[in-house]
Structure 1
Amino acid sequence: MDEKKFVQTTVEEVSALDPVSTLDYNEKIDDITVSVSNWISHDREAVIARILESDDMDDLANEDADFIIDKMETMDPAEAIEILREAEDYHSNDINFPALTLEKIRNLLEGPKAYDDNESLYDLDLRLEASMMKFYSPYPEVRSVCRPTDDPSLPVETFRSYLVGIIWVAVGAFVNQLMSYRRPSFTLSSQVIQILIYPSGKFLQYVLPKRQIGVGRFKFHLNPGPWSQKEQLFATIVTNVGAQEAVFMSYMPTMRLSMFYNQTWMTYGFSIIMGLSCQFFGYGMSGCLRRYAVYPVKAVWPTVLPVLQLNRTLCTVEQKKTLNGWTITKYKLFFILLWASLIYFFVPDYLFEGLSTFNWMTWIAPNNKNLAFVTGSLIGAGFNPIVTFDWSVINYSSCLVVPFYVTANRFFGCVMGGIVLLILYYTNYKYTAYMPPNTSSVFDRFGESYNTSRVLVNGRFDLDSYIAYSPPYVSAGQLMYQATAYLIYTFAFVYIFITEWSTIKEAIIGFYQGLRYRKKSTYERYTDPISVLMRQYPEVPDWWYLILLAISIVFGIIAVACYPAETPVWVVIVAILVTIALLIPFIVLYSTTGYFMSINNLGTILGGYMVPGSGLACIFTRTFAYGVDERSETVVGDLKLAHYGKIPPRAVFRGQVLATIIMIFITSGAVEMLITGSEDFCSWTNPSKFVCTFAHTLYADSLLMGVIGPHRTFDQLYPTFKWAFLIGACISAPIYVARKYSMRYTRYFHPVIFLGGIIRYGSTYNLSYYTEGFYASFIFMYYLRTRYLAWWSKYNYIISSGLTAGVAFGGILIFLALQYHPKTLDWWGNSISDAGIDGAGDATLKGLPEIGYFGLEPGSWS
């Protein structure tokens, strides 16, 4: 048979096995490279190209293909079968694992009969799949950004990478902390800073002298050569953890300003102590969580993949090639999208704001309440097929980053939540019809915003004043949000422990053995290709992280024991223990799906129950709970980023610790500057728009949960909230069993993420923040990923990064040029979204009864 016909025939045979993910090789047959070994023929090389998501063997993936070919040559069939058997067992319930690959592995385990006794093709696929599992990655997303090899000679922890990282940590932390108090706020995101790091590193490459300085062991090169990809990634990791607002600094205005709790004793020194306590507790926990969310192969971390792709795009020279008709390089495409997104962002964010909040259905009849309640983007449920032309809204759910099933579960959960919200509202459940349907505001029985000063005497809760005034009432959206949030805490805890018990059990054993055998590397317990490559780098011992944990606890105890914080030490310990218990399953969920579960609400309630009558104690409890949660999940994500990038763990540890210390001093200084130097800081009339929206929300929450207390708020008005915890725990096991025995139909249904969609109500968020993200996710994360996998692997994360970075830069320019000294543009396109009932924000289904109030009878809420 003619060689070309032989290749063509074999490719068609292979294509028939996997028609969805097969690439079109018909036009590439002439370009297939000659066999690199005496046993790999043309047909096998074509299949290798298909597996590696490449149209031919002549692009950048050529090195990876050669690497896999070399491994295939030494792969024993018996070893291959054992590898695939372990992979089938490990990934059988893994939603992220490609279903077609799992089916193929099961066919291979059946033997050559599944290939119609075509032993040649069976042997090829057997070796290929086993080699991919053992030496590369089973996930196409990971293969698109992470190489199966490593070059340990590349410089990482250099003087210039530290210098660049420290400079942008200082700038980013200062700007992000200041702007977090502003409305509208903007941030120097990690993608923006990553772009700024690259020219900074290249600049130092040309200006620093090529000389070695230092003494003895502490000698280092000022300029070791070209700015490397590992230096870029190391500086990015340093800025990821340092160039952001600190958790405790966001809480400072609520406690310190006279308009709130007026705790003037909270000085710069106190904020340093609390900041270090919160931040380093997260670091200490991240070390303990490595075995749950960094080393396991299942921990894909979708949220860090765009960072890796952008890092490679900036630092790697790419060869042009044709891919589904596209020849543009990733580098060029990124900057085209960045500039296009930046310029376009001026349209929905400044020139025509109606395109951002595109509640066009309410424009038809602006004064129609029912239309606003059902379709409105602001106070309504958000049932609107076209809701925005603003990428910052479309990308609210990270639609081009997280897997499609995650976006779909959240979207349909949000649809369900909207239906439930409207049922609650139109049936006037718990007096919700006397308030707007979807708002975070708290109301009194007269339909006005709850005035907490009327229940306080000398800053403390007064029962007589409370009885004379009113209990607090919440909207239908807030009621549904609170109940679902409490339910999801216990549900997720039990459900994830059941579904991921093998991973959790392995992590517990590994942590114990890591403490017992301190000289033994944890990487030796893991056989995946990245962990094997990382064995050459000294690991960070567990006791390093435990020391950070101990230091942070000491700082926390000093803060609450030596200052008038109204918070007993035992309260801090309880809050931390509860957080640790929930953090393990939540970090597993975040690492596999990209869905972040915050426990800030639970921290607020814990404070209210443990220290009744104290708003300060409520805030401190929430600080420790949420600070540990948020910081741990952020740091663990960066550890996975370093794992994928093969960055030495001890270098990452040193860089993160240094960046955090710098961040705490910078952000504390930023808060001090605003509190002492900004006129009317946090007031709604602040001329620079530093109105501190979160500080006002936190004040209301702490008064209701801390001062008035959850007993009075929930026991008398909303007893269902208490049962939500029990209901969540009880239904988790039955749902797990039902899903297990109907996996064929429920494989992509994730109940925790589905519930996460329901809790998007209760504030300014609703279905409108998910609708167009769902469309985009379907196109990119499902259709293009399944039909054009090679194209998707190359361009998807670049498209996401380019559009997002353009919006970030556009927001910065709009603020500096048009909003710092306000230059308003008053016309129909900027006022139409707020012109009707949806924009007014105070419309209700029912007016006050004739008696002048709604709700419980007077005197019945003591």
Structure 2
Amino acid sequence: MEKEEYTIEKEEYITERVDDDKADHLDADYDLEEEDDSPIEEVRVTISNTDDPNMPCNTFRMWFLGLLFTAAVSFVNQFFYLRQTQISIGYSVVALVSLPLGHLMARILPTGDFHIFGTSFSLNPGPFSIKEHILIGTMTAVNTSTAYAVDIVILQKLYYDSEQPFIAGLLLVFTTQVTGFALAGALRKFLIRPAHMIWPSTLVTASLFRSLHTTTELQEDVGRMNRMQYFMLVSFGSFLWYWFPGFIAPTIGVISWICWIAPNNVVLAQLTGSNGLGIGTIALDWAAASYYVQPLVTPWFAQVNILIGFILVVYVMVPWAYYTNLWNSKNFPILSADLFREDGTEYNKSLILTNNVLADEKYLAYGPVRMDSFFALTYGVGFAGLTATVVHVILYNGTEMLARWRSARAENEDIHSRLMRVYPEVPDWWYMFLFVASLGLSFVTCVVWDYMPWWAVFLAVGLAVFFVLPVGIVQAVTNQQPGLNIVTEYVIGYLLPGHAIANVTFKTYGYIVNIQALAFTADLKLGHYMKIPPRIMFMAQIVSTLISGVINLSTATWLVNTRPNICTPQGYPFTCRSTNTFYSASIIWGAIGPARVFGNLEGALYSPVQWGFLVGAILPIPFWYATKMFPHVMWLKYVHWPVLLAATSNMPPALPYFYTNGLVLGFIFAFLLRRYRYDWWARYNYLTSAALDTGVAICGLIIFFAIQSWEGKMPYWYLNPNPNLADPNAAALDHCALGGLAYNPIPAPV
């Protein structure tokens, strides 16, 4: 049978620039016409509008390399997760390393057919294809973030002395990872098929893979650098440059130049130091500047919302609260995730627990927990962000959601949805069976091994289901994801105060199930763009998720059982920074409980932040109403309260200068270049983001494995200061030591 190509080509090349307002328009009030390209500009310039259904993808090469990288990345990322310096191998590194291996297998594997159980297949069906490559990347992308539930297992063994058998932890990992995947099937009609649900981060990945597989020069490439050459050049430049902020001269990653005017002035240091509010701090480090904002990927209207939210919280609310000494703020640093006593000394959590449960008499004798005003205010803003997300999606997307619910396939489709018709869709019952099975195992796991009561399982998953669509719509359009960690901790903290393990387990089921659902949905959207058969994508995701879960937990268990003093300063480099933060959260939300911190029990100091729930629910309403009253006032349509209120959700641990530097780059790339150098932006923007990520990742791995893992160090000099110097400003990385300290000095011990 001759190879047939199912191809729809453009009838004409679009040369006229689309107006920014149309390109970024969020509402679904346009007609999705039967045209031969996407109506969304960002998709048009990045994703091909052709497909070859006969291109091999479900091959031995794909499964061999996919499983190999799944195992390797799962081990490496979990290993480094527990270390002081965390490194995560991501999409771009796997894409680069797997490409030559795929081509090598296409050269050396036998081409003959094999017959097993009446089925004929070939180990080598032809050249290594982009679809095989994307499936390999998708399988390993599941492991970029380690399984969240592993931290619960570590907490029980190291902090609460209540270790459970390995099978209990494994089921906890499996159920929290897979239940979210089951939800992704229900989101397809809302978050994958609609053209205006673009998922900006998938465009970066698609651009990377297309560039790696470009083999012919297009007419538009004549006389210009092709995408593969550009990608390799930028990646190499990023690799070379990262040696400076990553190893040779770390100070250039945190240039707090304003603080240098008077580094001993505590107010100036707190406002301009990199460990304070970071006003004016320059970060010549792509890893820091792209940490949260993702400036080349996030749409400009979303970055403007982030900027406004950032300014309101970091530059208005926090200085006001801190320097008016609200909640005795001056006793603490201006920005910190640590917990304190009222006088600013460290809060010793072990002095308030008996058998890992809060002892009321000990707590009352020792005193209530305190946090800095920044930390408290960001919780309040986070509360507002959650309710704003629900109200915003109901107002702005409610009509469309109902229409799609009633008739998911009745509307016209864009070119990518029409091209996908040739592939059999995953039946709904597959996802339903997976959801029921994983929910049943969740119930058994939590009840048998006493993680939390049976009703808490259904409540946690119910919260994840309730929020998954509104959060998904926000992420699909803006590339920002409001998290559910706060609301899950809040809910179970009130229902089961004093039970730390139940708190973190409930948070994991409510928060991670939501996160996993959207992560899998993003992968499905990438498959939609790149025309991957849905059933093959389904199997690749399921298999890699189960394998990565086993390896994550096995690696963590091995380290915990073999490394002395792990997760303590004496266990360096295995100090478990993230796990210790997880433990602190289990104390404040679980052991102590939100009633004593944010509620009305025993005069909770931070109770006013709960008004955030009401404020967030109200804020979107007048702006939505204004868009109806004044439809020609375009800027009103771009006010996005979920993004605006979620702007500071990562702080702490994220630092303010991450945002300011990222937003400056966003202004250059997402606004100036897009508007005034559109041809360059359309051709290279997303590819630039992927190339910069790749260079940093490869350099970071080499620095660690080739130098730091062998105890190698860069000699100390001005741009790599010695932390042991007597002069604290000379010893600080940004030469601004007071930026991370309290306004009022901590009292000397008696």
TM normalised by structure 2 equals: 0.92
Q: Deviations over 1:81-122 (max 9, x none)?
A: xxxxxxx9xx999772499xx9xx9xxxxxxxxxxxxxxxxx
Task: Determine which of 624, 628, 645 is the counterpart of 1:736.
Answer: 624
- Aligned match of 1:665: 550
Task: Determine which of 6, 10, 13 is the counterpart of 1:67.
Answer: 10
1:480 and 2:377 are equivalent in the alignment: yes
Q: Deviations over 1:315-351 (max 9, x none)?
A: 121417677x972111111111112211211111111
Q: In structure 2, give the amino acid aligned to 1:668.
A: L
Q: Which has the larger radius of gyration?
A: 1
SS of structure 2 residue aligned to 1:823: coil
- Aligned match of 2:153: 252
What is the correspondence of 1:279-428 to structure 2 with a 5 Å cutoff? 279-319=177-217, 327-378=224-275, 380-384=276-280, 386-396=281-291, 397-418=293-314, 419-428=316-325
Q: Are the structure 2 counterparts of residues 233 and 524 from structure 1 closer, same or farther at C-alpha, using a change threshold of 3 Å?
A: farther
- Aligned match of 1:263: 162
Distance 2:288 2:253 in 1: 7
Deviation at 1:209, TM superposition (A): 0.4
> Is the 8 Å Cα contact of residues 165 and 239 (structure 1) preserved in structure 2?
yes
Q: Are the structure 2 counterparts of residues 189 and 130 from structure 1 closer, same or farther at C-alpha, using a change threshold of 3 Å?
A: closer
SS of structure 1 residue aligned to 2:732: helix
Distance 2:731 2:235 in 1: 27
Distance 1:130 1:443 in 2: 55
- Aligned match of 1:50: none
Q: Deviations over 1:459-487 (max 9, x none)?
A: 22111111111101111110111000011
1:150 and 2:55 are equivalent in the alignment: no
- Aligned match of 1:800: 689
> Is the 8 Å Cα contact of residues 278 and 656 (structure 2) preserved in structure 1?
yes
Deviation at 1:411, TM superposition (A): 2.1
Deviation at 1:531, TM superposition (A): 1.4
Distance 1:498 1:843 in 2: 44
What is the correspondence of 1:780-799 to structure 2 with a 5 Å cutoff? 780-799=669-688
Q: Kindly, what percent of the aligned residue pairs are identical? A: 27
Q: In structure 2, give the amino acid aligned to 1:823.
A: G
Deviation at 1:446, TM superposition (A): 2.5
Task: Determine which of 481, 501, 504 is the counterpart of 1:619.
Answer: 504
Distance 2:273 2:13 in 1: 59
Segments of 5+ residues of structure 2 without an aligned counterpart are 1-5, 722-729
Q: In structure 1, give the amino acid aligned to 2:211.
A: T
> Is the 8 Å Cα contact of residues 273 and 734 (structure 2) preserved in structure 1?
no
- Aligned match of 1:492: 389
Task: Determine which of 568, 579, 589 is the counterpart of 2:474.
Answer: 589
Deviation at 1:659, TM superposition (A): 0.9
Q: In structure 1, give the amino acid aligned to 2:645.
A: L
Distance 2:59 2:270 in 1: 57
What is the correspondence of 1:455-470 to structure 2 with a 5 Å cutoff? 455-470=352-367
Q: Are the structure 2 counterparts of residues 289 and 838 from structure 1 closer, same or farther at C-alpha, using a change threshold of 3 Å?
A: farther
Q: Are the structure 2 counterparts of residues 214 and 364 from structure 1 closer, same or farther at C-alpha, using a change threshold of 3 Å?
A: farther
> Is the 8 Å Cα contact of residues 276 and 664 (structure 1) preserved in structure 2?
yes
SS of structure 2 residue aligned to 1:219: strand
Distance 1:322 1:530 in 2: 22
Distance 1:164 1:506 in 2: 42
Q: Are the structure 2 counterparts of residues 296 and 747 from structure 1 closer, same or farther at C-alpha, using a change threshold of 3 Å?
A: same
Distance 1:764 1:574 in 2: 28
Q: In structure 1, give the amino acid aligned to 2:624.
A: Y
SS of structure 1 residue aligned to 2:498: coil
Distance 2:731 2:378 in 1: 25
Q: Are the structure 2 counterparts of residues 759 and 275 from structure 1 closer, same or farther at C-alpha, using a change threshold of 3 Å?
A: closer
> Is the 8 Å Cα contact of residues 168 and 243 (structure 1) preserved in structure 2?
no
Task: Determine which of 740, 750, 755 is the counterpart of 2:645.
Answer: 755
Q: Are the structure 2 counterparts of residues 181 and 506 from structure 1 closer, same or farther at C-alpha, using a change threshold of 3 Å?
A: farther
Distance 1:660 1:276 in 2: 8
Distance 1:788 1:98 in 2: 23
Segments of 5+ residues of structure 1 without an aligned counterpart are 1-62, 72-87, 106-128, 511-521, 854-862
TM normalised by structure 1 equals: 0.80
Q: Are the structure 2 counterparts of residues 349 and 823 from structure 1 closer, same or farther at C-alpha, using a change threshold of 3 Å?
A: same
1:821 and 2:707 are equivalent in the alignment: no
1:652 and 2:543 are equivalent in the alignment: no
Deviation at 1:635, TM superposition (A): 0.2
Distance 2:379 2:438 in 1: 31
> Is the 8 Å Cα contact of residues 353 and 829 (structure 1) preserved in structure 2?
yes
- Aligned match of 2:3: none
> Is the 8 Å Cα contact of residues 425 and 476 (structure 1) preserved in structure 2?
yes
Distance 2:650 2:587 in 1: 23
Q: In structure 2, give the amino acid aligned to 1:284.
A: A
Deviation at 1:722, TM superposition (A): 2.4
> Is the 8 Å Cα contact of residues 8 and 49 (structure 2) preserved in structure 1?
no
Q: Which moved more, 1:636-645 or 1:552-561?
A: 552-561
Q: Are the structure 2 counterparts of residues 469 and 227 from structure 1 closer, same or farther at C-alpha, using a change threshold of 3 Å?
A: same
Q: In structure 2, give the amino acid aligned to 1:173.
A: S
Distance 2:57 2:269 in 1: 55
Q: Which structure is richer in relative contact order (CA contacts within 8 A, separation 6 or more)?
A: 2
Deviation at 1:837, TM superposition (A): 8.5
Q: Are the structure 2 counterparts of residues 653 and 438 from structure 1 closer, same or farther at C-alpha, using a change threshold of 3 Å?
A: same
- Aligned match of 2:442: 556
- Aligned match of 1:772: 661
> Is the 8 Å Cα contact of residues 160 and 204 (structure 1) preserved in structure 2?
yes
> Is the 8 Å Cα contact of residues 153 and 163 (structure 2) preserved in structure 1?
no
SS of structure 1 residue aligned to 2:720: helix
Q: Deviations over 1:660-715 (max 9, x none)?
A: 1111111121111111112221112223x121111111111111211111111112
- Aligned match of 1:843: 741
Q: Deviations over 1:109-156 (max 9, x none)?
A: xxxxxxxxxxxxxxxxxxxx997x622111221112212221111111
Q: Which moved more, 1:601-610 or 1:478-487?
A: 601-610
Deviation at 1:293, TM superposition (A): 0.8
SS of structure 2 residue aligned to 1:382: coil
Task: Determine which of 559, 571, 590 is the counterpart of 1:674.
Answer: 559
> Is the 8 Å Cα contact of residues 484 and 510 (structure 2) preserved in structure 1?
yes
Distance 2:178 2:269 in 1: 46
